[in-house]
Amino acid sequence: MAAAAFAELTAPRGQNAVPAQWPDLSQVSDEELGVLLLTAYANTAGSLRFAVQHAVETRQVRYSPDSCRRLLAVLVDGLARRDAADLPLAAGALLRCTGAWPDDLAGPAETLVRFMVGKGRIEHRRALLAVAAVAGQRVRRKIGRAIAPNGRIAQDELELALTWDTAGIALMAEVTDRSYGSPPMLPEAWQRLAATDYAGFARRALEAADARLAAIQAGEIRYVADKAFTADEVRTLERAARVALARDETWLPALLDRLLRGVAVAPTKAKTLPSQALLYAVARAAQDFPTPEAATLLRTVRGITRHAGVPKQLDRMLKKIEAALADRTEVALRLPGLGFGRDGVLRTPVGGHEAVITVTDEVELEWRGPGGKPLRSVPAAVRRDHGATVTELRDLVKRVRAHLTTLGRALEAGFTVERAQPYGRWRDELLTHPIAGTVVSRLLWEIEVSPGDWRAVLPGAAGGVLQDSAGRPVPPAGDDTAVRLWHPIRSQPGEVRAWRDLLAERQVRQPFKQAFREIYLLTPAEAETRTYSNRFAAHIVHYRQLYALLKGRGWTTELLGPWDGGAEGDAKRTLAAGEWRASFFHEYAEWAEDLELAATDQVRFDHREDGVWRAAPLADVPAIVFSEAMRDVDLFVGVTSLAADTEWADHGEDRLRAYWHRAGFGELTASAEVRRDALARIIPRTKIADRCSLDGRHLVVRGELRTYKIHLGSANILMEPDDSYLCVVPSRRKPGDKVFLPFEDERLALILSKAFLLAADSEITDESILVQIKRGG
C-alpha cells in the first residue's frame, strides 16, 4: 500500500490532477507515512500530497533516523519555493524519531533557523529554538537573543528553556507550537512537561502574576485596561496554569482564588478588566486539565466581573470544563467541607445574632436573633457593625452554589463514561459530605451486588439508609463494591416507572433530569441507513438560536452565513472520555434579511481508533452514548424549531407555515413523551385535575368557554370543536413556584401555566386571548 501511494505521489501529472482512486492511507504504517510525507513535500505536483498531509494531521507519524535527516533536507530545499519552513513539523520529528538522531543535522538546522529569523518569521519561538539547539549551543544562544519575548515572566521562561537539552525544548515546542501540517499532539505531552523542572517555574510564574495583580489592585501599579500582562506573558502563564492543573498542585486553588479575583475586576469602578486575555487563558487551561476548584472559582468570578461580555464567554468555557471534568474522575468529585456540619448547616455567631447557611436542594442564608428567633433580614446592628462578615457570608453562599453546580454538571456529563468507584470512597467523600451529600442523596445509583448484576438504590438524606424503588431499605454494600450513577437506558420500563412514582410521591427534585431522563434507542429506520440517522432531519430552525444552544451545550461548530463556505456545517461533540464523537449536520438558509433559518440533517458517529476518528455504524455505538447525543439533538430541534414559535401560525411563506403546523402538532419526540409521563403524575395533585386529561399528543383542558388541546411537544394550543389555533404569549410566571415539578423543563412549566390559565378561561381579561376564544366559541 505504501508503494502504491509513493508511485501516485511521483506520478508525472499536473498539480491538480486527481486519480480515479487514492490508495487507502489508513493501511500505511506510521513510519511509512513519515516517508510519504517527505515525498509529498518534495513532489508538489503529486496528486496525493494533500491527502498525505491530511493523514499526518490525524495520525501519530513516526520517522526513522534517515527520515529525520531527509525531512530537514527537504525543508531546506523548499525554502526558495515556499519562502518559509514548517519548523513545528521539524521539531516534532525530533520527538517522533524511532532511533538516535543522525550526527549531520546541524548544518541544515542552522540554515533553517537563520533563514526564518532573517525573514522575521519567529512566531513559532519554541520550535525555532528546538531546531537551533540541533545546530549547537552557539546557534541556540544567538537565536535565543533574536526571539526574546516581551515581558519579564515570558523572558524567565525562555531563560529556563535555554538551559534544557534539545529534547526538552522540542517537548515545549510540542505543546506550544502547532502548524497546519503538525500531527496530533503526542499523548501525555503536557504530563511529560509537568514532570520536568518546568513545574517549579510554573509556580513562580503564577505567583509573579498574582503579585502584579495585587499591586494593581492596591494602586501601586498604574491601571490600564487589559494591559496587566503582555501577549507573550499571557501565553507563558497559560502554559504554567496547564502544568499546575495537570499536576493537581495542592497550592494552586488558593493562588487561583487570588489571581482570578484580581484579574476579573478593575481596581476602579470601570467595567474593564486588568487582563481579559489571562482570565480566558486560565479557563482554556482548565478545559484541558479541569479541577472542581478551578471550575468553581471561574464560576465565582463570572458573578463579580463588571464587563458585560465576559460572563457569556465564561459560560461557554465552563460547559467544556464541566464536560472534561467528568473524564478526570480522580479529581472530579472533590469538594471542600467549608466548615459545614454533616447536616449541611453552618452556624456563625455575629454580634449577638446567628447566621445560618443551610444546604438542601437550595443554599439559603438566614438570620436568627437571641433565642433562635428567625428574622426576615440582616439585623441593622449586624449590618452596621459587621458589614465585612455579612459580605463574607454572602460570598460563601455564592461559592457553595458554584460548588454544587460544578458537581451536578460533572456528574451529568459523566453519564457516557460509565465509570464506577468503590462504595467506601463514594460514601465517605460524596454521600456523607456536608455539601456534596445534598446532591448525591437526590440521585439514583447502582451497586454491583455480584459480577455484572447491578441494583439501583436511592440514598436517604444526610447519608441515610439506601432504598429500592418501592421505598424498602437495602443493606449497605462493602467498601470495595462498585457503585455508579444510574441511567434509565440500563433499566426495564417497569423499574423506571417505579422510580418516577417514588420521586414524585416524595416530591424529590433531582439536581438534573435522571429518573425522567429521555432515552433514545436505535430505530429500524436507523438500522437500515446503518451509518446515519435522519430522526431529526428536515426541521426548520432559527439558526442563531441553534448556534447559541450548540455552543452552550459544549458542541463545537463554525458560524454559518451568506458567505463562501458558510452554507453547510456540522456540530461535533466528543463523548465517553473522547472515545466517541457525534456529528449533527445542518444547512444555513437566509429566507429574508431579518430571518436566519437553518435546515437540520443527519446525525453521524465516529469512533477513535489508534488516535484516528473513523466513521462507525450506528449499531456499534454504545447505547448510552447514542442516547445522550440524540437527546442533545432533540433539545436543539425542540427549542429552536419554528414549531415552537407562536408567531408563525399566520406568518411566513406557505412552505414555512406548512412545516410549522406539521411539526407543531406532530408525533411526540422522546422529550415530549417524558413530559407526558411527568404530567400524568403532576396533574392529579393540582386543583385543575378534574378539568384535565391526557389524550395522545395533547393535554386536554376543559374550560368554561371552550375545550383546549395543548400539544405536549410544542405547547401550541388548538381549540375544539374546529381545531382553531389559539395564540397565547408565554407568561413569565412559572407554575413551578406553586406546583411541584420533578425536574426543570421550561416547556413543561409553559404547558402547565397554559393549562391553569385555560381551565379558568372565564376569568381571562386579556382581550387578545378572549377574542380568539369567543370567535366561533
What pLDDT was estimated at residue 53? 75
Per DSSP, what are the bridge partners of residue 467?
A: 458, 473
Instruction: Measure the CA–CA gap between 529 and 380, rounded to whole angstroms.
Output: 69
Per DSSP, what are the bridge partners of residue 466?
A: 474
Residue type, 261: R
What pLDDT was estimated at residue 16? 47
Q: Is the pTM of this model over 0.95?
A: no
Burial class (CB in 10 A: 0-12, 13-18, 19+), 740: middle
Q: Which residue, among 470, 544, 731, 610, has the nearest Cα to 27 in the 3D structure?
A: 610
What pLDDT was estimated at residue 754? 93
What pLDDT was estimated at residue 725? 87
What pLDDT was estimated at residue 57? 77
What pLDDT was estimated at residue 736? 42
Sheet of strand 374-375, all strands in order from the earlier edge strand to the far edge: 345-350, 353-359, 363-368, 374-375
**Helix/strand number for the chain, H first, E second:** 31, 21
Residue type, 147: I
By DSSP bridging, strand 540-542 and strand 698-702 are unpaired
What pLDDT was estimated at residue 609? 81
Q: Locate cell 503582555: which residue?
A: 230
What pLDDT was estimated at residue 269? 92
Nine-digit cell string for 538: 428536515
Residue type, 40: A
Helix (H) or strand (E) holding 757: helix 746-759
What pLDDT was estimated at residue 734? 53
Residues of the chain with confidence (pLDDT) below 50: 1, 15-16, 736-737
| 236, 157 Cβ separation under 8 angstroms | yes
Torsion of CA 499, 505, 510, 515, to 10 degrees: 20
Q: What is the pLDDT of residues 215-250, one digit of tens each?
A: 999 999 999 999 999 999 999 999 999 999 999 999
What pLDDT was estimated at residue 252? 97
Instruction: Measure the CA–CA gap between 31 and 455, rounded to whole angstroms.
Output: 49
Q: Report how far Cα 74 is from the mean position of its chain's Cα atoms.
A: 41
Q: Which residue, among 326, 245, 234, has the nearest Cα to 280 in the 3D structure?
A: 234
